[in-house]
Amino acid sequence: MSCFDADPNFCPECGTILPLPGTEDIVRCPGCSFCIPVAEFNGLEVCSAVIFNLVEQLSLARNKEEEDDSELKGPVIDRHCSRCNKEGMVYHTRQMRSADEGQTVFFTCIHCRYQEKEES
């Protein structure tokens, strides 16, 4: 027996979830080989619940994800926007043509969200 008091579903020595009692007289921890008699589980009641998410909660979560995606991401560089003439643009690159040609750089103004592209 262990010196520690723990939830009966967990090994009091290493914290591993104990397997369900089977046909043997003992339950053996798969993590540390700690043994506990099956009689220790007599009278224990296991309760569980299933909680379904409401449709409204799912749509709110999706809307929040879409708002997060609309936020500009990437490094800000010192480049003037050709539309608003303010400095500060975010860029990202994509390989739009064949692999032996250069990447296309897309710039987005952090102020007016105007997009420019530069092919190299």
Q: Which residues are annotated as a binding site for Zn(2+)?
A: 11, 14, 29, 32, 81, 84, 109, 112
Residue ranges for the binding site?
Answer: 11, 14, 29, 32, 81, 84, 109, 112
Strand partners of residue 94: 104
Look at residues 26, 29, 22 and name the one whose alpha carbon lies nearest to residue 12.
Answer: 29
Phi, psi (degrees; rounded to nearest 5) at 19: -70, 160
Give the Cβ contact number of residue 75 at 10 Å. 8
User: What is the spatial distance between Cα 10 and Cα 2, in angstroms, rounded to a whole number?
Assistant: 12
- From residue 100, alpha-carbon distances to 1, 95, 110 in Å are 68, 10, 31
